[in-house]
Amino acid sequence: MIRFTKALGACVMAAAMAAPVSAQSLIRDTEIEQVMRDYGDPLIEAAGLNPDSVGIHLIGDAEFNAFVTRGQNIFFHTGTITIADKPLEIKGVMAHEVGHIEGAHIARSQSATQGAMATMIASIGLGLAAALAGAGDAGAAIMASGPQFATLDMMRYTRGQEAQADQAALTFLERTGQSGSGLVSTFERFRYQEVMSDQRRWEYFRSHPLSSQRIDAMRRRVEQSPYRDVTDTEEEVATLRRIQAKIIGFMHPPAQVLNHYPESDTSLPARYARSVAYFKQGNLERAREILATLIEEEPDNPFFHELEGQMLFESGRIADSIAPYRRAAEMMPEAPLLRIGLAGSLIAEGSDENVREAQQHLRFALTEERDNPFGWYQMSIAHQALGEIALAELATAERSFAVGNNVDAYRFAARARDQLDRGTPAWVRATEIAAVAEPSQREISEYNRRQRERMGNLAPATRDFRDEPRRRVFH
Ligand SMILES: [Zn+2]
Protein backbone atom coordinates (compact mmCIF):
# COMPACT_ATOMS: atom_id res chain seq x y z
CA MET A 1 0.00 0.00 0.00
CA ILE A 2 1.15 3.47 -0.74
CA ARG A 3 0.86 6.11 1.87
CA PHE A 4 0.77 9.56 0.56
CA THR A 5 2.98 12.47 1.34
CA LYS A 6 2.67 13.92 4.77
CA ALA A 7 5.59 16.27 4.68
CA LEU A 8 7.60 17.92 2.01
CA GLY A 9 10.34 20.39 2.66
CA ALA A 10 10.39 24.06 1.91
CA CYS A 11 13.27 23.73 -0.51
CA VAL A 12 11.38 21.35 -2.69
CA MET A 13 8.48 23.68 -2.85
CA ALA A 14 10.75 26.55 -3.76
CA ALA A 15 12.07 24.48 -6.62
CA ALA A 16 8.62 23.33 -7.62
CA MET A 17 7.45 26.90 -7.81
CA ALA A 18 10.49 28.15 -9.66
CA ALA A 19 10.13 25.54 -12.37
CA PRO A 20 7.14 25.11 -14.68
CA VAL A 21 4.61 22.84 -13.07
CA SER A 22 4.83 20.44 -15.96
CA ALA A 23 8.51 19.97 -15.31
CA GLN A 24 8.30 19.27 -11.64
CA SER A 25 5.40 17.71 -9.85
CA LEU A 26 4.88 14.81 -7.61
CA ILE A 27 3.96 12.11 -10.06
CA ARG A 28 2.28 8.78 -9.77
CA ASP A 29 2.68 5.71 -11.90
CA THR A 30 1.83 2.19 -10.80
CA GLU A 31 4.50 0.54 -12.95
CA ILE A 32 7.34 2.75 -11.72
CA GLU A 33 6.16 2.74 -8.12
CA GLN A 34 6.08 -1.04 -8.15
CA VAL A 35 9.73 -1.17 -9.23
CA MET A 36 10.74 1.34 -6.57
CA ARG A 37 8.90 -0.64 -3.90
CA ASP A 38 10.64 -3.81 -5.10
CA TYR A 39 13.95 -2.02 -4.58
CA GLY A 40 13.00 -0.33 -1.34
CA ASP A 41 10.88 -2.72 0.70
CA PRO A 42 13.59 -5.34 1.43
CA LEU A 43 16.00 -2.55 2.45
CA ILE A 44 13.38 -0.93 4.66
CA GLU A 45 12.72 -4.28 6.32
CA ALA A 46 16.44 -4.89 6.71
CA ALA A 47 16.54 -1.59 8.61
CA GLY A 48 13.91 -2.93 11.01
CA LEU A 49 11.26 -0.58 9.67
CA ASN A 50 7.78 -1.31 8.38
CA PRO A 51 7.53 -0.82 4.58
CA ASP A 52 3.89 0.18 4.97
CA SER A 53 4.88 3.21 6.99
CA VAL A 54 7.65 4.42 4.69
CA GLY A 55 6.45 6.39 1.67
CA ILE A 56 8.40 6.32 -1.59
CA HIS A 57 7.53 9.26 -3.86
CA LEU A 58 8.56 10.43 -7.29
CA ILE A 59 9.15 13.98 -8.41
CA GLY A 60 9.20 14.64 -12.14
CA ASP A 61 12.59 16.24 -12.56
CA ALA A 62 15.48 15.23 -14.78
CA GLU A 63 18.11 16.21 -12.25
CA PHE A 64 19.63 13.58 -9.99
CA ASN A 65 18.27 13.98 -6.48
CA ALA A 66 16.90 12.01 -3.57
CA PHE A 67 16.06 13.01 -0.03
CA VAL A 68 14.02 12.20 3.03
CA THR A 69 11.44 14.30 4.79
CA ARG A 70 9.74 14.01 8.13
CA GLY A 71 7.11 11.38 8.44
CA GLN A 72 9.33 8.68 6.86
CA ASN A 73 9.00 9.74 3.25
CA ILE A 74 11.67 9.15 0.64
CA PHE A 75 11.59 11.29 -2.50
CA PHE A 76 13.32 10.47 -5.76
CA HIS A 77 13.65 12.70 -8.74
CA THR A 78 12.83 10.71 -11.85
CA GLY A 79 16.28 11.80 -13.03
CA THR A 80 17.81 9.52 -10.41
CA ILE A 81 16.14 6.61 -12.19
CA THR A 82 16.97 7.65 -15.75
CA ILE A 83 20.60 8.47 -14.94
CA ALA A 84 21.28 5.11 -13.27
CA ASP A 85 23.25 2.49 -15.18
CA LYS A 86 21.87 -0.37 -13.15
CA PRO A 87 19.34 -1.13 -10.43
CA LEU A 88 22.07 -1.48 -7.79
CA GLU A 89 22.79 2.23 -8.11
CA ILE A 90 19.23 3.19 -7.30
CA LYS A 91 19.10 0.61 -4.53
CA GLY A 92 22.30 2.07 -3.12
CA VAL A 93 20.84 5.57 -3.01
CA MET A 94 17.61 4.13 -1.57
CA ALA A 95 19.59 2.31 1.14
CA HIS A 96 21.42 5.52 2.02
CA GLU A 97 18.13 7.39 2.42
CA VAL A 98 16.71 4.56 4.52
CA GLY A 99 19.87 4.99 6.61
CA HIS A 100 18.85 8.56 7.39
CA ILE A 101 15.42 7.39 8.48
CA GLU A 102 16.72 4.50 10.55
CA GLY A 103 19.31 6.77 12.18
CA ALA A 104 16.52 9.19 13.14
CA HIS A 105 18.52 11.99 11.55
CA ILE A 106 15.31 13.85 11.03
CA ALA A 107 14.15 15.39 14.23
CA ARG A 108 10.64 14.56 15.16
CA SER A 109 8.77 17.77 15.00
CA GLN A 110 5.50 18.99 16.30
CA SER A 111 4.51 20.34 12.93
CA ALA A 112 4.80 16.95 11.28
CA THR A 113 2.10 15.45 13.44
CA GLN A 114 -0.63 17.99 12.87
CA GLY A 115 -2.92 15.83 10.84
CA ALA A 116 -3.08 16.27 7.13
CA MET A 117 -1.23 19.51 7.27
CA ALA A 118 1.49 19.03 4.79
CA THR A 119 0.48 17.56 1.47
CA MET A 120 1.52 20.24 -0.94
CA ILE A 121 1.47 19.04 -4.46
CA ALA A 122 -1.26 16.68 -5.41
CA SER A 123 -0.40 13.35 -6.89
CA ILE A 124 -1.09 12.96 -10.55
CA GLY A 125 -0.31 10.49 -13.25
CA LEU A 126 2.87 10.60 -15.24
CA GLY A 127 2.16 12.69 -18.29
CA LEU A 128 -0.90 14.26 -16.78
CA ALA A 129 1.02 17.08 -15.16
CA ALA A 130 1.33 19.13 -18.32
CA ALA A 131 -2.30 18.67 -19.25
CA LEU A 132 -3.48 19.79 -15.84
CA ALA A 133 -1.16 22.75 -15.69
CA GLY A 134 -3.02 24.13 -18.67
CA ALA A 135 -6.43 23.30 -17.27
CA GLY A 136 -6.94 26.54 -15.38
CA ASP A 137 -8.98 26.27 -12.23
CA ALA A 138 -9.49 22.54 -12.44
CA GLY A 139 -5.77 22.01 -12.74
CA ALA A 140 -5.11 24.37 -9.88
CA ALA A 141 -7.66 22.56 -7.72
CA ILE A 142 -6.05 19.20 -8.32
CA MET A 143 -2.53 20.43 -7.99
CA ALA A 144 -3.49 22.47 -4.96
CA SER A 145 -0.60 23.66 -2.93
CA GLY A 146 -0.65 25.06 0.54
CA PRO A 147 1.12 27.85 2.35
CA GLN A 148 2.13 25.29 4.98
CA PHE A 149 5.23 24.62 2.96
CA ALA A 150 6.79 27.70 4.40
CA THR A 151 6.65 26.31 7.90
CA LEU A 152 8.56 23.13 7.18
CA ASP A 153 12.26 23.18 6.85
CA MET A 154 14.48 20.81 5.02
CA MET A 155 16.88 18.77 7.05
CA ARG A 156 20.57 19.37 6.81
CA TYR A 157 22.85 16.58 7.86
CA THR A 158 26.21 16.66 9.50
CA ARG A 159 29.21 14.92 8.00
CA GLY A 160 28.95 12.36 10.77
CA GLN A 161 25.34 11.60 9.86
CA GLU A 162 26.28 11.23 6.19
CA ALA A 163 28.99 8.72 7.07
CA GLN A 164 26.54 6.92 9.31
CA ALA A 165 23.94 6.73 6.53
CA ASP A 166 26.60 5.42 4.12
CA GLN A 167 27.54 2.66 6.54
CA ALA A 168 23.93 1.86 7.35
CA ALA A 169 23.21 1.60 3.63
CA LEU A 170 25.96 -0.97 3.21
CA THR A 171 24.60 -2.91 6.18
CA PHE A 172 21.08 -3.04 4.70
CA LEU A 173 22.45 -4.09 1.33
CA GLU A 174 24.50 -6.83 2.98
CA ARG A 175 21.55 -8.06 5.01
CA THR A 176 19.59 -8.44 1.78
CA GLY A 177 22.48 -10.22 0.08
CA GLN A 178 23.24 -7.35 -2.26
CA SER A 179 26.39 -5.51 -3.21
CA GLY A 180 27.11 -1.92 -2.23
CA SER A 181 29.04 -1.40 -5.46
CA GLY A 182 26.18 0.61 -6.96
CA LEU A 183 26.33 3.21 -4.22
CA VAL A 184 30.10 3.52 -4.63
CA SER A 185 29.88 3.80 -8.42
CA THR A 186 27.14 6.44 -8.16
CA PHE A 187 29.25 8.54 -5.82
CA GLU A 188 32.33 8.00 -7.99
CA ARG A 189 30.44 9.16 -11.04
CA PHE A 190 29.48 12.39 -9.33
CA ARG A 191 32.96 12.85 -7.99
CA TYR A 192 34.32 12.44 -11.52
CA GLN A 193 31.90 15.05 -12.77
CA GLU A 194 32.94 17.36 -9.99
CA VAL A 195 36.54 17.15 -11.03
CA MET A 196 35.84 17.27 -14.75
CA SER A 197 33.23 19.90 -15.15
CA ASP A 198 32.37 22.78 -12.95
CA GLN A 199 29.29 23.51 -14.96
CA ARG A 200 27.73 20.10 -14.63
CA ARG A 201 28.35 19.89 -10.94
CA TRP A 202 25.18 18.99 -9.10
CA GLU A 203 23.97 21.56 -6.68
CA TYR A 204 23.98 19.35 -3.65
CA PHE A 205 27.49 18.09 -4.13
CA ARG A 206 28.68 21.65 -4.70
CA SER A 207 27.89 22.56 -1.13
CA HIS A 208 28.65 19.13 0.29
CA PRO A 209 31.65 17.83 -1.59
CA LEU A 210 32.02 14.10 -1.79
CA SER A 211 35.30 13.63 -0.09
CA SER A 212 37.49 10.88 -1.46
CA GLN A 213 37.71 9.79 2.15
CA ARG A 214 33.96 9.19 2.24
CA ILE A 215 34.08 7.15 -0.94
CA ASP A 216 37.17 5.21 0.15
CA ALA A 217 35.52 4.25 3.42
CA MET A 218 32.59 2.81 1.50
CA ARG A 219 34.72 1.08 -1.09
CA ARG A 220 36.81 -0.69 1.53
CA ARG A 221 33.73 -2.13 3.14
CA VAL A 222 32.11 -3.11 -0.14
CA GLU A 223 35.25 -5.00 -1.12
CA GLN A 224 35.14 -6.99 2.10
CA SER A 225 31.51 -7.92 1.67
CA PRO A 226 30.71 -11.53 0.73
CA TYR A 227 28.17 -10.07 -1.70
CA ARG A 228 30.68 -7.77 -3.38
CA ASP A 229 30.23 -9.35 -6.79
CA VAL A 230 26.51 -10.02 -6.67
CA THR A 231 24.98 -8.23 -9.64
CA ASP A 232 21.47 -7.34 -10.67
CA THR A 233 19.59 -10.08 -12.47
CA GLU A 234 19.01 -9.69 -16.19
CA GLU A 235 15.32 -9.36 -15.47
CA GLU A 236 15.91 -6.49 -13.05
CA VAL A 237 18.06 -4.68 -15.60
CA ALA A 238 15.40 -5.19 -18.28
CA THR A 239 12.73 -3.78 -15.96
CA LEU A 240 14.86 -0.74 -15.22
CA ARG A 241 15.39 -0.11 -18.96
CA ARG A 242 11.65 -0.25 -19.40
CA ILE A 243 10.75 2.30 -16.74
CA GLN A 244 13.61 4.51 -17.87
CA ALA A 245 12.11 4.49 -21.36
CA LYS A 246 8.68 5.30 -19.99
CA ILE A 247 9.96 8.23 -17.93
CA ILE A 248 12.01 9.59 -20.81
CA GLY A 249 9.08 9.17 -23.18
CA PHE A 250 6.79 11.20 -20.96
CA MET A 251 9.20 13.74 -19.54
CA HIS A 252 11.35 14.73 -22.50
CA PRO A 253 10.44 16.51 -25.73
CA PRO A 254 9.38 13.97 -28.40
CA ALA A 255 12.17 14.95 -30.81
CA GLN A 256 14.72 14.20 -28.12
CA VAL A 257 13.06 10.89 -27.34
CA LEU A 258 13.04 9.80 -31.00
CA ASN A 259 16.69 10.75 -31.21
CA HIS A 260 17.56 8.78 -28.09
CA TYR A 261 15.51 5.77 -29.21
CA PRO A 262 15.87 5.73 -33.02
CA GLU A 263 13.65 3.51 -35.21
CA SER A 264 16.63 1.20 -35.71
CA ASP A 265 16.32 0.24 -32.04
CA THR A 266 13.55 -2.34 -31.97
CA SER A 267 13.97 -3.29 -28.31
CA LEU A 268 10.91 -3.22 -26.11
CA PRO A 269 12.01 -0.16 -24.10
CA ALA A 270 12.75 1.78 -27.30
CA ARG A 271 9.31 1.01 -28.72
CA TYR A 272 7.71 1.92 -25.39
CA ALA A 273 9.40 5.32 -25.40
CA ARG A 274 8.64 5.96 -29.08
CA SER A 275 5.00 5.09 -28.64
CA VAL A 276 4.70 7.71 -25.89
CA ALA A 277 6.68 10.26 -27.93
CA TYR A 278 4.42 9.87 -30.98
CA PHE A 279 1.40 10.18 -28.74
CA LYS A 280 2.75 13.41 -27.32
CA GLN A 281 3.36 14.64 -30.85
CA GLY A 282 -0.30 14.07 -31.57
CA ASN A 283 0.32 11.09 -33.83
CA LEU A 284 -2.13 8.74 -32.15
CA GLU A 285 -2.17 6.29 -35.03
CA ARG A 286 1.58 5.68 -35.01
CA ALA A 287 1.62 5.63 -31.21
CA ARG A 288 -1.04 2.91 -31.12
CA GLU A 289 0.59 0.95 -33.91
CA ILE A 290 3.76 0.64 -31.84
CA LEU A 291 1.85 0.03 -28.62
CA ALA A 292 0.00 -2.82 -30.37
CA THR A 293 3.32 -4.62 -30.93
CA LEU A 294 4.01 -4.36 -27.19
CA ILE A 295 0.57 -5.68 -26.31
CA GLU A 296 1.02 -8.53 -28.73
CA GLU A 297 4.24 -9.51 -26.98
CA GLU A 298 2.84 -9.13 -23.48
CA PRO A 299 -0.95 -9.32 -23.64
CA ASP A 300 -1.21 -9.60 -19.85
CA ASN A 301 0.81 -6.50 -19.05
CA PRO A 302 -1.66 -4.09 -17.40
CA PHE A 303 0.54 -1.05 -18.01
CA PHE A 304 0.36 -1.34 -21.78
CA HIS A 305 -3.44 -1.42 -21.60
CA GLU A 306 -3.36 1.49 -19.16
CA LEU A 307 -1.29 3.47 -21.66
CA GLU A 308 -3.70 2.67 -24.45
CA GLY A 309 -6.56 3.87 -22.27
CA GLN A 310 -4.72 7.08 -21.49
CA MET A 311 -3.92 7.75 -25.14
CA LEU A 312 -7.52 7.28 -26.23
CA PHE A 313 -8.89 9.26 -23.31
CA GLU A 314 -6.60 12.21 -23.84
CA SER A 315 -7.34 12.15 -27.55
CA GLY A 316 -11.00 12.64 -26.75
CA ARG A 317 -12.03 9.07 -27.57
CA ILE A 318 -13.65 8.64 -24.18
CA ALA A 319 -15.93 5.68 -24.89
CA ASP A 320 -13.08 3.77 -26.58
CA SER A 321 -10.79 4.36 -23.62
CA ILE A 322 -13.01 2.43 -21.21
CA ALA A 323 -12.20 -1.06 -22.49
CA PRO A 324 -8.39 -0.82 -22.24
CA TYR A 325 -8.59 0.84 -18.82
CA ARG A 326 -10.95 -1.91 -17.72
CA ARG A 327 -8.53 -4.59 -18.92
CA ALA A 328 -5.70 -2.92 -16.97
CA ALA A 329 -7.79 -2.70 -13.79
CA GLU A 330 -8.92 -6.31 -14.13
CA MET A 331 -5.36 -7.51 -14.52
CA MET A 332 -4.27 -5.67 -11.39
CA PRO A 333 -7.41 -5.16 -9.33
CA GLU A 334 -5.51 -4.12 -6.21
CA ALA A 335 -3.87 -1.10 -7.88
CA PRO A 336 -5.72 2.09 -6.88
CA LEU A 337 -4.38 4.22 -9.72
CA LEU A 338 -5.63 1.85 -12.41
CA ARG A 339 -9.10 2.01 -10.86
CA ILE A 340 -8.93 5.79 -10.77
CA GLY A 341 -7.96 5.82 -14.46
CA LEU A 342 -10.91 3.62 -15.34
CA ALA A 343 -13.20 5.74 -13.18
CA GLY A 344 -12.09 8.86 -15.03
CA SER A 345 -13.17 7.36 -18.35
CA LEU A 346 -16.46 6.08 -16.98
CA ILE A 347 -17.33 9.46 -15.49
CA ALA A 348 -16.39 11.31 -18.66
CA GLU A 349 -18.59 8.96 -20.69
CA GLY A 350 -21.34 10.16 -18.42
CA SER A 351 -24.13 7.58 -18.42
CA ASP A 352 -25.60 6.97 -14.96
CA GLU A 353 -24.65 3.31 -15.10
CA ASN A 354 -21.02 4.14 -15.85
CA VAL A 355 -20.83 6.87 -13.25
CA ARG A 356 -22.14 4.45 -10.62
CA GLU A 357 -19.53 1.89 -11.61
CA ALA A 358 -16.90 4.63 -11.37
CA GLN A 359 -18.00 5.35 -7.81
CA GLN A 360 -17.34 1.72 -6.88
CA HIS A 361 -13.81 1.85 -8.29
CA LEU A 362 -13.15 5.14 -6.56
CA ARG A 363 -14.45 3.80 -3.26
CA PHE A 364 -11.99 0.92 -3.53
CA ALA A 365 -9.11 3.17 -4.55
CA LEU A 366 -9.79 5.72 -1.83
CA THR A 367 -9.94 3.05 0.82
CA GLU A 368 -6.40 2.12 -0.20
CA GLU A 369 -5.28 5.72 -0.54
CA ARG A 370 -7.39 7.90 1.69
CA ASP A 371 -5.50 11.03 0.87
CA ASN A 372 -5.38 10.82 -2.92
CA PRO A 373 -6.69 14.25 -3.93
CA PHE A 374 -7.18 13.34 -7.58
CA GLY A 375 -9.35 10.39 -6.57
CA TRP A 376 -11.49 12.61 -4.34
CA TYR A 377 -11.76 15.16 -7.11
CA GLN A 378 -13.14 12.46 -9.41
CA MET A 379 -15.47 11.28 -6.69
CA SER A 380 -16.92 14.77 -6.27
CA ILE A 381 -17.55 14.97 -10.02
CA ALA A 382 -19.24 11.56 -9.99
CA HIS A 383 -21.58 12.58 -7.18
CA GLN A 384 -22.33 15.86 -8.88
CA ALA A 385 -23.17 14.06 -12.11
CA LEU A 386 -25.74 12.00 -10.25
CA GLY A 387 -27.19 15.01 -8.47
CA GLU A 388 -25.82 13.89 -5.10
CA ILE A 389 -24.79 17.37 -4.07
CA ALA A 390 -24.17 16.77 -0.36
CA LEU A 391 -21.95 13.78 -1.15
CA ALA A 392 -20.11 15.83 -3.78
CA GLU A 393 -19.42 18.42 -1.09
CA LEU A 394 -18.24 15.74 1.29
CA ALA A 395 -15.82 14.47 -1.39
CA THR A 396 -14.55 18.01 -1.87
CA ALA A 397 -14.09 18.26 1.90
CA GLU A 398 -12.05 15.03 1.78
CA ARG A 399 -9.91 16.39 -1.04
CA SER A 400 -9.27 19.65 0.79
CA PHE A 401 -8.46 17.74 3.95
CA ALA A 402 -6.03 15.52 2.05
CA VAL A 403 -4.08 18.50 0.78
CA GLY A 404 -4.09 20.21 4.16
CA ASN A 405 -6.55 22.98 3.28
CA ASN A 406 -8.45 23.10 6.55
CA VAL A 407 -10.58 26.10 5.68
CA ASP A 408 -12.17 24.48 2.63
CA ALA A 409 -12.28 21.08 4.34
CA TYR A 410 -14.28 22.61 7.17
CA ARG A 411 -16.49 24.69 4.89
CA PHE A 412 -17.51 21.81 2.63
CA ALA A 413 -17.77 19.26 5.45
CA ALA A 414 -20.06 21.55 7.43
CA ARG A 415 -22.25 22.12 4.39
CA ALA A 416 -22.44 18.39 3.67
CA ARG A 417 -23.20 17.61 7.31
CA ASP A 418 -26.14 20.03 7.34
CA GLN A 419 -27.73 18.40 4.28
CA LEU A 420 -27.07 14.74 5.05
CA ASP A 421 -29.32 12.46 7.05
CA ARG A 422 -28.21 12.37 10.64
CA GLY A 423 -26.48 9.17 11.67
CA THR A 424 -25.60 7.90 8.20
CA PRO A 425 -21.92 6.98 7.59
CA ALA A 426 -21.55 10.01 5.30
CA TRP A 427 -22.98 12.30 7.98
CA VAL A 428 -20.61 10.81 10.57
CA ARG A 429 -17.64 11.39 8.27
CA ALA A 430 -18.69 14.96 7.47
CA THR A 431 -19.07 15.67 11.19
CA GLU A 432 -15.66 14.16 11.83
CA ILE A 433 -13.91 16.28 9.20
CA ALA A 434 -15.68 19.42 10.35
CA ALA A 435 -14.50 18.75 13.90
CA VAL A 436 -10.92 17.90 13.01
CA ALA A 437 -10.44 20.52 10.33
CA GLU A 438 -12.05 23.46 12.09
CA PRO A 439 -9.60 26.19 11.19
CA SER A 440 -7.88 28.46 13.63
CA GLN A 441 -8.20 32.22 13.37
CA ARG A 442 -4.69 32.32 11.91
CA GLU A 443 -5.63 29.82 9.20
CA ILE A 444 -8.69 31.85 8.29
CA SER A 445 -6.68 35.06 8.00
CA GLU A 446 -4.06 33.28 5.91
CA TYR A 447 -6.79 31.85 3.69
CA ASN A 448 -8.36 35.27 3.22
CA ARG A 449 -5.00 36.79 2.43
CA ARG A 450 -4.45 34.20 -0.28
CA GLN A 451 -7.91 34.77 -1.68
CA ARG A 452 -7.14 38.48 -1.97
CA GLU A 453 -3.87 37.73 -3.66
CA ARG A 454 -5.59 35.45 -6.10
CA MET A 455 -7.97 38.26 -6.90
CA GLY A 456 -4.95 40.44 -7.47
CA ASN A 457 -3.89 37.84 -10.00
CA LEU A 458 -0.85 36.81 -8.06
CA ALA A 459 -0.08 33.11 -7.85
CA PRO A 460 -0.60 32.68 -4.11
CA ALA A 461 2.24 30.43 -3.09
CA THR A 462 4.72 31.90 -5.51
CA ARG A 463 5.15 35.11 -3.61
CA ASP A 464 6.63 33.53 -0.50
CA PHE A 465 9.24 31.67 -2.44
CA ARG A 466 9.99 33.98 -5.30
CA ASP A 467 13.33 35.04 -3.93
CA GLU A 468 14.36 31.63 -2.74
CA PRO A 469 17.28 30.22 -4.66
CA ARG A 470 16.74 26.87 -6.33
CA ARG A 471 18.39 24.65 -3.77
CA ARG A 472 19.17 20.99 -4.11
CA VAL A 473 18.85 18.64 -1.26
CA PHE A 474 20.25 15.23 -2.06
CA HIS A 475 21.90 13.91 1.06
ZN1 LIG B 1 22.72 11.58 2.99
Return the CATH fold of 10-224.
Answer: Zincin-like (3.30.2010)
Angle subtended by helix axes 30-46 and 234-251, to nearest 10:
130
User: How many Å lie between the centroid of ligand 1 and the Cα of residue 166?
Assistant: 7
Q: Which of 102, 248, 110 is nearest to 169 (CA)?
A: 102
For residues 374 and 142, the answer to whether their CB atoms sit within 8 Å is: yes
pLDDT at residue 286, as a whole number: 98
| Burial class of residue 442 in the structure, from the number of CB atoms within 10 Å of its CB (0-12 exposed, 13-18 middle, 19+ buried) | exposed
What 3-state class would DSSP assign to 68?
A: strand
Nearest Cα to Cα of residue 26 among 98, 107, 123, 110 = 123
Residue among 29, 228, 194 at smallest CA distance from 126? 29
State in Å: Cα 97 to ligand 1 middle: 6
Contact 407, 443 (CB under 8 A): yes
Enumerate residue ranges in the chain where pLDDT < 50: 1-23, 108-124, 126-154, 207, 458-474
| Residues, the chain | 475
Give residue 56's pLDDT: 92
The arrangement of strands across the sheet holding 73-77 comes to 66-69, 73-77, 55-59, 26-28, 124-125
How far does residue 422's CA lie from ligand 1's centre (Å)? 52
Burial class (CB in 10 A: 0-12, 13-18, 19+), 263: exposed
**What distance in angstroms lies between residue 21's CA and the mean position of ligand 1's atoms?**
27
Q: Can you tell me the distance from the alpha carbon of 52 to that of 368, in angstroms, rounded to the nearest whole number?
A: 12
Cα(247) to centroid(ligand 1), Å: 25
Q: Is the model's pTM score more than 0.75?
A: yes
Q: Decide: 74 and 40 in contact? Cβ < 8 Å.
A: yes
Give the separation between CA 327 and CA 246, rounded to whole angstroms.
20
Report pLDDT for 156.
63
pLDDT recorded at residue 265: 97
Q: How far is the CA of 75 from the centre of ligand 1 (A)?
A: 12
Cα separations in angstroms, 273 against 246, 324, 362, 370, 417: 5, 19, 29, 32, 48
Distance between Cα 157 and ligand 1 center (Å) = 7
**What distance in angstroms lies between residue 190's CA and the mean position of ligand 1's atoms?**
14
Q: How many Å lie between the centroid of ligand 1 and the Cα of residue 474? A: 7
* CA 100 to centroid of ligand 1, rounded, Å: 7
By CB neighbour count within 10 A (0-12 exposed, 13-18 middle, 19+ buried), where does 108 fall?
A: exposed
Q: How many angstroms separate the CA atoms of 112 and 293, rounded?
A: 47
* CA 67 to ligand 1 centroid distance, Å: 7
